[in-house]
Structure formats: C-alpha cells, structure tokens
Amino acid sequence: MNNYTFDELKVGMTESFDVTITAEMLDAFKGITGDVNPLHNDEKFAESKGHPGRVAYGMLTASFLSTLAGVYIPGERSLIQQVETKFASPVYIGDALTVKGEIVELIDSVQRLTLKVTITNQNGKKVLRGKMEILVV
Amino acid sequence: MTREGVFKELTEIFWDVFDDEDIELTDETTADDIEDWDSLEQINLVVACEKKFNIKFDMKEIQSLKNVGEMVDTILSKVQ
C-alpha cells in the first residue's frame, strides 16, 4: 500500500492497477447490494438485450476507484470526499480492466487532490471516466 | 473590490455549491442556518472561494471562520 503525504504529491502523478472481472464478483456484489436485476444475473436475459453475456454492475466497476484512492494514490492517508463517474461502455465477465488515476489539481489549504480517473478494458476502450476529490489526512 | 462586491460574489458561490438560489446570506449566517453546510461543503466553499477570488487560505483561517461576515472580511483582506 502506498502512503503518500500531501507534500510528496505532484500534479501529473499517476498510479494504476489491473483487475479482471469474474462471475464471482458479480454474485458477491448482488449479495451485498441486493440488486437482482436480470441484466447482471441472467445470461439469457442479457443476451436478449443485445449483450454477449451478463453485464457487470456499473457500481462494481466504480468500486475499484476506492482501491485506486485507498491503496495507490494517495494510499493510506486517503479520505474520499466526492466521486463523479460516467459509465462509458458496458463491462462483461472476463474483461481485463486497467484502473488509472492522474492528479490534476492539488489544493494546499484543505490538503485535497483532484484525481482524473479512467478505467479501460483489454481493448483499450474506456468503460468508465470520472473525477475524484480526495483529502490527504 | 468593495465589501458589497465580495458579498455578492460569495452569495453566488453559495448558490453554486449548494445548488440553491434561494439562499440569502447575512453577516451572521452560519452553518446552522444552511441545512447542507457540513464539513464536506465547507471544504468545497473554501476551494470555490480560492478559485473565484484567486486567493489562498491557510488551515488556521479556515478553522477560525465563525460566520459569513468573517468569511467576507477574510476574503476582502486578501484581495486588496
């Protein structure tokens, strides 16, 4: 786990990690949230809607932003304040995602950073983009 | 910039941060008077003020602000 102090952070710094979406992740997410929508849980239903298989929950994909902040940038001192996301493309079981954050702003007075975030799949297509406001405490 | 000018600009910042153009500020307005004025929005207000007025606060100043009037006076002292 990283443990950047505010003073060690610079605009332009990036961190990233990779994760592959599994059926077990979707099932665990359903168990936690109670979201039983068939688009995420019924392969035939998802196919009837034009997808190659079950669609990963957008919020499951977004949940990796928690890891990005809490483990990578800034890491241990992270306190997430705000998250804005757009789900640009669907994510499917087996997709290999790269979760990346780049510091675009540092506010000294409140020790807060703005992280531009993108999640791309194995084809280089953006599946999520957004912005996080994170306090360094 | 006049005190009235700062007050007007600050009011617009409050409208923007709280997404509520019905907010009417006075010098005595505090966080107790605006339902969503919590610690998160306090930080958003500070950041918005820094950008709007092109100033910097320090942590002690932020913690010592007791109401909108003190906020206006602190901003005014930095823009003059």
Q: What is the pLDDT of residues A42-60, one digit of tens each?
A: 999 999 999 999 999 999 9
Tell whether B19 is within 8 A of chain A (Cβ).
Answer: no
Residue A114 CA, chain-centre distance (Å), reads 15
- Cα–Cα distance between B56 and B10 in angstroms, integer? 15
pLDDT, position A14: 98
Confidence category of residue B75, pLDDT binned at 50, 70, 90:
very high
What percent of chain B clears pLDDT 90, i.e. is strictly above it?
A: 84
CA distance A81 to chain B (A): 7
Q: What is the mean pLDDT of chain B?
A: 93
Measured between CA atoms, the residue of chain A closest to residue B40 is A81
Contact (CB, 8 A) for A95 and A21 = yes
Residues in chain A closer than 8 A to B57 (CB atoms): 109
Domain-by-domain residue ranges, chain B? Answer: 3-79
Q: Is the pLDDT of residue B80 over 80?
A: no
Q: What is the pLDDT of residues A87-123, one digit of tens each?
A: 999 999 999 999 999 999 999 999 999 999 999 999 9
In DSSP terms, A3 is beta-bridged to A75
Q: Which domains does chain A have, with CATH numbers?
A: 6-136 (3.10.129.10)
Measured between CA atoms, the residue of chain B closest to residue A113 is B47
pLDDT, position B59: 84
The CA-based diameter of chain B, rounded to the nearest angstrom, is 32
Give domain B3-79's CATH superfamily.
ACP-like (1.10.1200.10)
Q: Is the pLDDT of residue A27 over 90?
A: yes
Contact (CB, 8 A) for A26 and A93 = yes
Residues 21-40 of B with CB under 8 A from A: 40
A interface toward B at CB cutoff 8 Å? 81-82, 107-110, 112, 135
If you search the block for the tokens 């405490």, which residue do you land on? A137
Asked if B58 and A135 come within 8 Å (Cβ–Cβ), the reply is no
Contact (CB, 8 A) for A126 and A120 = yes
CA distance A134 to chain B (A): 11
Q: Is A32 helix (H, G, I), strand (E, B) or coil?
A: helix
CA distance B57 to chain A (A): 6
The CA-based diameter of chain A, rounded to the nearest angstrom, is 53
Measured between CA atoms, the residue of chain B closest to residue A109 is B58
User: Does the complex come out with an ipTM higher than 0.85?
Assistant: no
Q: What is the mean pLDDT of chain A?
A: 97
Question: What is the interface size between A and B, counted as CB pairs within 8 Å?
Answer: 22
